Every structure is written in C-alpha cells, then in structure tokens.
Amino acid sequence: MRIGVLAIQGDVREHILHTEKAGAEALPVRMARDLDNTQGLIIPGGESTTIGMLMAEYGIIDAIKERAADGRYPIYGTCAGMILLADKVVGLSPARLALMDMAVSRNAYGRQIASFEVNLSIDVLGAEPFPAVFIRAPKIVQWGSSITPLAWYEKELVMAESGPYLISSFHPEMSPDVRIHQYFLEKVRQAAALVDAS
C-alpha cells in the first residue's frame, strides 16, 4: 500500500515516518504526477495559506479532486490539512479542496502561547488515551450530518470522519503513537477493497 504525503511545506518528514511505522509505504507529493500509484493521501500540518496557494498554482488541487471524484480516495488532513478539506473557512480563506461539509476557524485557540498538549480519549482507538499536540490549532465551528465525530476536547470537536476522509485539529505525528495513522491505513484498505470489487 502506497500513501502520498503532501510535501509542499510543513511537517512532512514526521508523517512519512509515522506512515511507515504504521505499516505502509509513504511518498512525498510535490507535483500532481506524484499522486500516481498512491492509494491515499495525508495532508500534514503547516501554514494553510501557503500550502493552499502553492497547491492551486501547481495544479495539485484539481488533480486531487479528480482522483477523489469517485469517493474512494481516502485523505487524512491534520491541522492545516483539516482546513484544506473544509467547505468553509471563517476569515481569510485559503485555496483548498473543500471536500467535507464543515466550517473551520483558523488559529482559533489563539497564538502560539496557547498551543498545548493533552491526552485525549478516542473510542475508535481503544481505551489507551492518545497524546494529542495542538499547535496554533483550528476549530471546527459547524458541521453537517455527513460528519461523524470521533473525538472531543473541552466540548470542541477535534477529530472526525466523513466517508473516505479523516481529519484532526491536532498533530498525531508529533507524538510516538501511530494508532491514528493505523486507523487511516485501515480506511485506505477498505477503499481499495471497494475498488477491487467494482
């Protein structure tokens, strides 16, 4: 199984290492053609304005949307990646994929001084709490019925999925725990099985 990690900017290396540890091959995606032969995509943390702008300029937004059109191309977005998957963004709104029915607010927890880490309980991962790192994190301020909540922190939705798409406002790649990456790989496996069956 081959997973692309969008390598425009941000903590690409950490996502590649986590994906490999979780048991798949990981390839950096800098150009649209790098998406070929990938069965899923991870969009890392970074600056969403920068990543979105450069994705649009180099034709990567269109290429991903085309690939995602049949609903069988799983994408996992962390932090900036989550912003790029959202339909709506409050305030300055970067170019993006807009594949999920939700509105997000950038840097909604505040500036860097308000960045934090905390252990979250996430049911789909089992009983063991997950060490979550929030860095200038966005908030999901509104979402539609297609969104399934997966984790909460202080009444804020911080992790969710919708069809083949997975998002978290925190960074699982900043801690040694690879369970969320394993969870995403399972989604990719299921999507691949659907493709094979059709």
Partner 1 sequence: MQEQRGTYNVKSGLAEMLKGGVIMDVTTPEQAAIAEKAGAVAVMALERVPADIRKAGGVARMADPRIVQSIQEAVSIPVMAKVRIGHFVEAQVLEALEVDYIDESEVLTPADDQYHIDKWQFNIPFVCGARDLGEALRRIAEGAAMIRTKGEPGTGNVVEAVRHLRQVNSEIRHVVATPEAELADLAKELRAPLELVKQVKELGRLPVVNFSAGGVATAADAALMMQLGADGIFVGSGVFKSQNPEKTARAIVRATLHYNAPKVIAEVSKDVGEAMPGLEMATLAPKDRMQDRGI
Catalytically active residues, by annotation? 79, 171, 173
Residue closer to partner 1 (CB basis): 45 or 74: 45
Using rule CB under 8 A, residue 110 touches partner 1:
yes
Quote the strand ranges of 39-115, DSSP E: 40-43, 75-78, 86-90, 100-105
CA dist., res. 63 & res. 32, Å (int): 6
CA dist., res. 96 & res. 60, Å (int): 10
Residue closer to partner 1 (CB basis): 30 or 67: 30
CA dist., res. 108 & res. 124, Å (int): 26
Using rule CB under 8 A, residue 142 touches partner 1:
no
Query: Among residues 41, 30, 140, which one has the least CA distance to residue 83?
Result: 140
Among residues 1, 115, 156, 189, which is the contact residue for partner 1, using CB under 8 A? Answer: 115
Using rule CB under 8 A, residue 21 touches partner 1:
no
Using rule CB under 8 A, residue 74 touches partner 1:
no
Residue closer to partner 1 (CB basis): 132 or 147: 132
Using rule CB under 8 A, residue 155 touches partner 1:
no
Tokens encoding 153? 């922190």
Using rule CB under 8 A, residue 34 touches partner 1:
no
**Looking at 34-42, 110-118, 157-165, 186-194, which segment touches partner 1 (CB under 8 A)?**
110-118
Using rule CB under 8 A, residue 191 touches partner 1:
no
Among residues 69, 111, 197, 198, which is the contact residue for partner 1, using CB under 8 A? Answer: 111
Among residues 20, 142, 175, 189, which is the contact residue for partner 1, using CB under 8 A? Answer: 175
Among residues 7, 63, 84, 97, which is the contact residue for partner 1, using CB under 8 A? Answer: 7
Tokens encoding 134? 């929030």
Contact residues for 13 (Cβ-Cβ < 8 A; gap 6+): none
CA dist., res. 64 & res. 68, Å (int): 6
Using rule CB under 8 A, residue 50 touches partner 1:
yes
CA dist., res. 135 & res. 95, Å (int): 21
Residue 92 burial (10 A CB sphere; 0-12, 13-18, 19+): exposed
Query: Tokens 């032969």 map to which residue?
Result: 37
Residues that bind partner 1 (CB under 8 A): 7-14, 30, 45-47, 49-50, 53-54, 57, 79-80, 91-92, 106-107, 110-119, 129, 133, 135-136, 171, 174-175
